[in-house]
Amino acid sequence: EIVMTQSPATLSVSPGERATLSCRASQSVSSKLAWYQQKPGQAPRLLIYGASTRATGIPARFSGSGSGTEFTLTISSLQSEDFALYYCQQYNNWPPLTFGGGTKVEIK
């Protein structure tokens, strides 16, 4: 099973600032890495797939990068609606499909 590790667990950022979230895989997942955003009481929303391709309707301030075992989600200028939980998920080697533990982006 591929273990996904996200860091930091919590990221405190001021509105308008850049946020950088990390995701590490226990073995290579090539570029088969997705990012999701989840707000309290809601289902997750797909942001990024293929490590760097934004899903439909996702603003350009969200960008993904990386391949192999190291990945980054960058939010270039945080808006109020971006404060949420973020999860990464690998789909290169499954089953099982595996998620990271999440990063909470909170207002500083």
Partner 1 sequence: EVRLVESGGGLVKPGGSLRLSCAGSGFTFNSYTMNWVRQAPGKGLQWVSSISSGSSYKYYAESLKGRFTISRDNAEKSLYLQMDSLRVEDTAVYFCATEFVDTVATPHQVFDSWGQGTLVTVSS
Judged by the rule CB under 8 A, the positions of this chain that interact with partner 1 are 1, 32, 34, 36, 38, 43-46, 49-50, 53, 55, 87, 89, 91, 94-102
State in angstroms the smallest separation of the CB of 70 from partner 1: 19
Measured from the CB atom, the residue of 16 and 40 that comes closer to partner 1 is 40
Q: How far is the CB of 84 from partner 1 (least distance, A)?
A: 13
Q: How far is CA 63 from CA 2, 9, 48, in A?
A: 23, 19, 8
| Identity of the residue, 9 or 14, whose beta carbon is nearer to partner 1 in the bound complex | 9
Of 69 and 98, the one with the shorter C-beta distance to partner 1 is 98
Pairing of strands 62-67, 98-99: unpaired
Q: Where are the beta strands (DSSP E) in the chain?
A: 4-7, 10-13, 19-25, 33-38, 45-49, 53-54, 62-67, 70-75, 85-90, 98-99, 103-107
